[in-house]
Amino acid sequence: MAVTIKDVAKKAGVSPSTVSRVLSNHPRISTETSQRVKAVMEQLGYHPNIMAKSLVSKTTNSICVLLPKPAEELFSNLFFMELIRGIVTQANRSGYDVLLSSGVNEKEELEAVSRLLNGRRVDGAILLYSRKDDPVVDFLYEHKYPFTLIGRSENHHDILTVDTDNVQASYDATKHLISMGHERIGFVSGPPNLVVSQDRLTGYRNAMSDSGLQVRSEWIVEGEFLQESGYRAMSFFMNLPQRPTALVVVDDMVSFGVLRGLHELKFKVPEDLCLVSFNNIPLSELSTPPISSIDIGIYHLGYTASQVLIQSIQNDSVTGPMPKRHIIPHRLMVRESSTFAVSNK
């Protein structure tokens, strides 16, 4: 005979409702009680009927993560792998499962998230990106579905967001290069429809302006968050009549393409070109040369996004009103790629 919730309650010396609250991670249940009940569950071999629980509570204890592009492209960038690791770790600790979903375009993404939420297959969603005029964000906002946006929304200022201060981070990266004597500094950007690309470009422009330095249009190149974008940018930059002596690069994966392009063109880093990048994925320290990079706390971004979404789903009245915007601190990790001092005068 299958072990029931009443069997667990009797063995643990609590009421069946207390066992139910332990299963749903209710904040009013003490740690001691929760541990005792869970120990009895393990001892008796009790496994909750998730389907039945969902029908009663009208929750699934599942969240969906909407991936910003086809998975084969996404998982080539270690940034997203680390982000998802943070999301999954926190979700599992809160008793939630994570479902991954994606689409090849905005229409497919909207259909996927609509199907999951309207079909009550998940309780909420995490978006790993922030785009200008995003129909997915508009849909979630209009239908009042619980969701967290990793990034900054231009149109909705009262939604849950977890982000880095990308304007300040890019400002700091550019100022570091300026402090090394660089005046001709270029910028390798990401897709212009992504808010993170805009913010990092703004920080670069602000730092240059505050230092009285010129920003030339030919010193700014847009692309994707892929190695190939950095690789192609080098053919352009290094053939300019007056090329930059340093670059701010929007993403570490793009920087790897920059290094490959420079190597093939017989230029050295940092002697011929210095660079600073973003995200500080583990490979940035292991590249040749090691890349200076802004550490944005990728794991913490994902962990916090999962945490605030689940708190929103549970509508936790114990902790009181939640702040809508959560900013994860950043720091510049200075390595060999940006340590060559120059004088442009």
Model confidence pLDDT, tens digit, residues 89-129? 999 998 899 998 877 777 888 888 888 877 778 899 999 98
Number of H helices, E strands in the chain: 14, 12
How does pLDDT run across 156-214, given as a tens digit for each residue? 888 999 999 999 999 999 999 999 999 999 999 999 999 999 999 999 999 999 999 99
At residue 325, the 3 state secondary structure works out as strand
Average pLDDT over the chain, rounded to an integer: 88
In this model, does residue 54 exceed pLDDT 60?
A: no
| 235 vs 261: CA distance, rounded Å | 7
**DSSP characters over 165-234:** -HHHHHHHHHHHHHHTT--SEEEE---TTBHHHHHHHHHHHHHHHHTT----GGGEE---SSHHHHHHHH
* Tokens 């200022």 belong to residue: 157
Q: How high is the pLDDT of residue 321?
A: 57
Q: Which residue segments constitute the domains of the chain, with CATH numbers given?
A: 62-164+298-314 (3.40.50.2300), 166-295+331-338 (3.40.50.2300)
| pLDDT tens-place string over residues 123-169 | 999 999 888 888 889 999 998 889 999 999 888 888 999 999 999 99
For 55-59, 65-69, 116-120, 262-266, which range has the lowest pLDDT when averaged over its residues?
55-59
Cα R_g (the chain), whole angstroms? 24
Position 44 scores a pLDDT of 84
The residues, any chain, with a CB within 8 Å of residue 271's CB and separated by 6 or more, are: 340
Q: Which has the closest alpha carbon to 274: 142, 182, 160?
A: 182
Per DSSP, the three-state class of 321 is: coil
What's the pTM value of the predicted model, to 2 decimals? 0.81
